[in-house]
Amino acid sequence: MKNIRNAIFCLFFLIFVVLTACSPQEDEQGAKKKLSIAISKITTHPALDAVEQGFVDSLNAYAANNDLSISYKRENANGDIAISGTIANNFKQERVDLALGISTPSAQSLVHAFSTQGTKPTPVLFAAVSDPVDAGLVSSLSGGSSYVTGASDMVAVDEHIALLASSFGAKKIGYIYSSDQSNSMLIAELVAKACETRGIAFYPVSIVGTTEAGAAAAGLVNKIDALYLAGDNNVMSALPVIAKAMNDAGIPTLNADPAPVREGAEILISFGIDYYKMGAKTAEMAIRILEGEKPADIPVYMAQDPDALELIVHAELAEHIGIELPAELLARATEIIGASSEQKHTSTQGQ
């Protein structure tokens, strides 16, 4: 009897082992593969929000077509660089499959946090970073690092200054930027060079935090005949205050980010990158990594293709503040807000 019991026990044990061995394969066939993706951004404003939305929408479409389940861990540092570091360390402890840093400070925090993971750190993507090489994220634009790559939003500064000069005869251009953001300081240098080349006086004003933006704008009103804004998170967060000061004085403003005007911001000229498309492009890079490609083999995406740029002219605002819009500018516009029938015709002819 004892031998029979042992034989029965061994039989059931073998059956259990076989079923256990088979069960993972059945799970793989019957259940969706789960992925955890972390997203960190330095603050909330239309451009960064558009990147995030484009990234998530594209990844969700990919997941739906590939039987995947993606959970997102989203954090916002509310403009505090120290908090972005805490967010990055928390993501590292949660062992996410991939992380996205939207803005230079957020990306730098993620890259620093995940660098301590050893030989196979979590892949990190960046987006809305003006100069990823200068920021220490990658060593070259032609390829990523061992675990980092992403999308740059370096703006066409020279073209923007040329537009202000040709369309509005600007001879004194102001620029508001954050002195604690490396990308903003870099762009300030580029604006200074573009102005010097054209014999335009340059009036830069640095701020620390959004609360100083209003005073900076007010201090420029009597000095400049055009304002240029580009790639600064604090400035974009304080855009309504800055725009009001310029519009009240009848001074044309060019913003290198089209997203705010789509959200109702009263900016005369918006000329720059479609940040939703940038988010979608970054998602394409994420998919390549998730499918096994190495970040080092994926070049940094530079959003300078014509189909990635928008030139939005706020004709309704121009009429309200008494600024005449030249036909050449209207002809180049990809969109005219509040356009008259004549202006719409001019824009159509230009395209």
The domain at 32-154+275-304 falls in which architecture?
3-Layer(aba) Sandwich (3.40)
Report how far residue 328's alpha carbon sits from residue 346's, in angstroms, rounded to the nearest whole number: 9
User: Which sequence spans correspond to the domains of the chain?
Assistant: 32-154+275-304, 157-273+307-350
Least confident of 10-14, 108-112, 155-159: 10-14
Q: What is the pLDDT at residue 181? A: 82
The residue among 6 and 31 whose pLDDT is bigger is 31
Report how far residue 195's alpha carbon sits from residue 162's, in angstroms, rounded to the nearest whole number: 9
Choose which CATH entry (1.20.140.10, 2.60.40.1180, 3.30.565.10, 3.40.50.2300) describes domain 157-273+307-350.
Answer: 3.40.50.2300
Q: What is the identity of the amino acid at 158?
A: D
23 has pLDDT over 50: no
* Mean model confidence pLDDT for the chain: 88
Q: What is the identity of the amino acid at 290?
A: L
111 has pLDDT over 60: yes
226 neighbors 253 (Cβ within 8 angstroms): yes
Q: What is the pLDDT at residue 46? A: 84
pLDDT digit string (tens) for 213-260?
999 999 999 999 999 999 788 899 899 999 999 999 999 999 998 989
Q: What is the pLDDT at residue 14? A: 47
Q: 30: number of CA atoms within 13 Å, CB side?
A: 6
pTM exceeds 0.95 for this model: no
Q: What is the pLDDT at residue 154? A: 87
198 has pLDDT over 70: yes
For the residues 111-139, what does the mean pLDDT come to? Answer: 91
Q: Which helix (H) or strand (E) holds 239?
A: helix 239-248
DSSP codes, 20-54:
HHHHHHHHHHHSPEEEEEEEEESS--HHHHHHHHH
SS3 content of the chain, % helix, strand, coil (to 5): 50, 20, 30
Report how far residue 349's alpha carbon sits from residue 301's, in angstroms, rounded to the nearest whole number: 32
Within 10 A of 143 (CB to CB), how many other CB atoms are there?
A: 15
339 has pLDDT over 90: no
Q: What is the pLDDT at residue 8? A: 47
pLDDT digit string (tens) for 293-304?
999 999 999 887
Looking at 115-168, list the stretches that DSSP marks H as alpha helix, in order from N- to C-terminal side: 157-168
The residue among 334 and 144 whose pLDDT is bigger is 334
Q: What is the pLDDT at residue 151? A: 96
Asked, colleague to colleague, whether 32-154+275-304 and 157-273+307-350 share their fold, the answer is: yes
Within 10 A of 269 (CB to CB), how many other CB atoms are there?
A: 29
Give which of 45, 54, 113 is closest to 77, Cα–Cα. 45
307 has pLDDT over 80: no
